[in-house]
Structure 1
Amino acid sequence: MLVDLTAVALIATTVWVAFFVRDTIMLLAEPGQKVESSGHGLAEDLGNAGDAASNVPFVGDVLKKPLQSAADASAGFADAGASFQETVTQVANVTTTALIVVLVLLILVLWLPPRLLWIRRSLIVRRLADAPGGADLLALRTLAGPPADLVKLPTPPGGFADAWRRGDQEVIAILSAAALAHTGLLP
């Protein structure tokens, strides 16, 4: 269960880090916002100046043309700023998605196969424990397994193998419980 909680925590951390990276990348869009805002403001001011210049008698149209051209160029700056922001947003979104997908897949690849293997083994051991004569087989599994499992148990007179051969139900139950505990299942 600790490994499962660790995997979930790693996935949550991965998502948090990906969104933190996204927010950091989005800071790069601020200059684009300033260019867009400045471009719109300049275009509006030049447009207003052109409109005011057109009211000058005799030369109004001549004065309005360069101001209107400058206003159009300023609108181009605003469009460039907006385009820059869109590009930064796309880069941030792709980076965030890639981080989440790659890192979560890596975590799942490292966590899921051992977890599925444990589930398969625990189902087999649980079925074996519930089957007739299953406790005997689990006890034999403990006897044939690592000696460290037996060292932790109180040794019966004559040893575990002798008690198992005699069919000592108390020893068989102890050995069977040890096999369940070794698999991660509580007896």
Structure 2
Amino acid sequence: MKLYSDFGGRRAVQVIGDVLALGLVAVSVWAALVFHGFVTEFALLGRRLEEAGTGFRGSMTDIGNTLADVPLIGSGIAAPFDGASAAGETLESVGRGQQDMVGWIAVFAAIGIAAVPIAAVLLLWVAPRLVHAVRARRTTAVLTRPGGADLLALRALTDRSLLDILAADADAVARWRRGDPDTIRALAALEARAVGVRLPGAPAGHPTLAA
């Protein structure tokens, strides 16, 4: 797979784009982690409620057990404390529920913060870059085969803009039909350049073959 163009200007744009894409992904993950940590701080209230409920339930249970040992009236005196112990258990449950809710909110919010920019990077930058890299690899492979330049020249006539074709050769179609080697090479270079591939042996100063 050919990830970077053979041409300096386009290669610089690709490198900068890759760095920015990686930076955006890193910042998104960092922001998601920071927000997750911020939201989970709200679970502190739930932990305090749970601890308070646990302590209250334990105290009421101990008092109730102690009073239950009082002869004759012990069960009647202990009953209100048993009810209070149940209230402490309810408070524990509320505290745990609040912690669970905050935890889920933190997770889903963090995923949302990270997922949106990462998805944008994948769809708008990574996917087109991969498609371009595959095309560049295939073009390079075609150039190594006999008649590869002819195939690329034909593709240039069908895929490239009219202005680009005329810039490569003012009489490109007629000369291509006659099999003019310079025209075929110019058109092949035009098609190869579109995917960032420099035609082998192209002179550095030629605007079409090596630009």
TM-score by length of 2: 0.61
After TM superposition, list the pairs within 5 Å mapping 1:31-70 onto structure 2.
31-70=45-84
Q: Determine which of 33, 36, 44 is the counterpart of 1:30.
A: 44
Stretches of structure 1 lacking an aligned partner (at least 5 in a row): 151-165
Q: Determine which of 88, 96, 107 is the counterpart of 1:74.
A: 88
RMSD across aligned C-alpha pairs, in angstroms?
Answer: 3.6
1:179: Cα distance to partner? Answer: 8.3
Residue identity in the other structure for 1:111:
W
Question: Distance in 2 between the 1:182 and 1:106 partners?
Answer: 24
1:88 aligns to what?
A: 102
Question: Distance in 2 between the 1:45 and 1:117 partners?
Answer: 68
Residue identity in the other structure for 2:52:
S
Question: Distance in 1 between the 2:68 and 2:131 partners?
Answer: 82
> Which secondary structure state, in structure 2, belongs to the residue aligned with residue 56 of structure 1?
coil
Task: Give the number of the structure whose residues are more often helix, by fraction.
Answer: 1
Q: Determine which of 106, 115, 125 is the counterpart of 1:111.
A: 125
Structure 1 pair 58/167, CA: closer, same or farther in 2 (3 Å)?
closer
Structure 1 pair 184/167, CA: closer, same or farther in 2 (3 Å)?
closer
Residue identity in the other structure for 2:103:
T
Stretches of structure 2 lacking an aligned partner (at least 5 in a row): 1-13, 157-162, 169-179, 201-211
> Which secondary structure state, in structure 1, belongs to the residue aligned with residue 42 of structure 2?
helix
After TM superposition, list the pairs within 5 Å mapping 1:1-187 onto structure 2.
2=15, 3-132=17-146, 145=164, 183-185=195-197
1:162 aligns to what?
A: none
2:10 aligns to what?
A: none
Greater shift after overlay, 51-60 or 27-36?
51-60
Question: Distance in 1 between the 2:142 and 2:81 partners?
Answer: 90
> Which secondary structure state, in structure 1, belongs to the residue aligned with residue 70 of structure 2?
coil
Residue identity in the other structure for 2:126:
L
Question: Distance in 2 between the 1:71 and 1:116 partners?
Answer: 64
1:167: Cα distance to partner? Answer: 7.4
Residue identity in the other structure for 1:106:
A
Residue identity in the other structure for 2:42:
L
Deviations 1:101-141 (A, max 9, x none): 333212111113421342244235423532446679989x8
Deviations 1:5-41 (A, max 9, x none): 4323322332222222211111111100000001000
Question: Distance in 1 between the 2:64 and 2:42 partners?
Answer: 34
Residue identity in the other structure for 1:35:
L
